[in-house]
Amino acid sequence: MIQKKLKPKKTYNIYYLSMDELNKLIESTKSLRDQIVLKILARTGMRRFELCNLRVMDVDFTKRRIFIPKAKGGKFRTVPVDRDTLQSIKFYIGSRQNGKLIQSNKKDNDGIDESRINAIVKNTAIRAEIPHPDPTKRNMNPHILRHSFIRHMLKIGVPPNYVQQLAGHSDIRTTLQMYGIPSFTDVQEKYDEISNTFYGDKNI
Indicate if 47 belongs to the active site: yes
Cβ distance 66 to 102 under 8 Å?
A: no
The active-site residue, picked from 24, 55, 72, 122, is 72
Q: Any catalytic annotation for residue 169?
A: yes
Q: Does 162 qualify as catalytic in the annotation?
A: no
* Residues 164, 172 contacting (CB under 8 angstroms): yes
Burial 10-42 (b: 16+ CB within 10 A, else e): eeebbbbbeeebbebbbebbeeebbbbbbbbbb
Using a 10 angstrom Cβ sphere, with 0-12 exposed, 13-18 middle and 19 or more buried, the burial of residue 148 is buried
Check residue 6 and report its DSSP letter. P
Cα 125 to the chain's mean position, in Å?
Answer: 14
| 85, 40 Cβ separation under 8 angstroms | yes
> Does 132 qualify as catalytic in the annotation?
no
Catalytic, out of 39, 47, 48, 152? 47
Q: Which of 146, 147, 151, 152 is catalytic?
A: 146
Catalytic residue among 43, 48, 100, 179: 179
**Active-site residue (options: 55, 122, 143, 155):** 143
In whole angstroms, what is the distance from residue 193 CA to residue 204 CA?
A: 17
Query: Which residues are annotated as catalytic?
Result: 47, 72, 143, 146, 169, 179
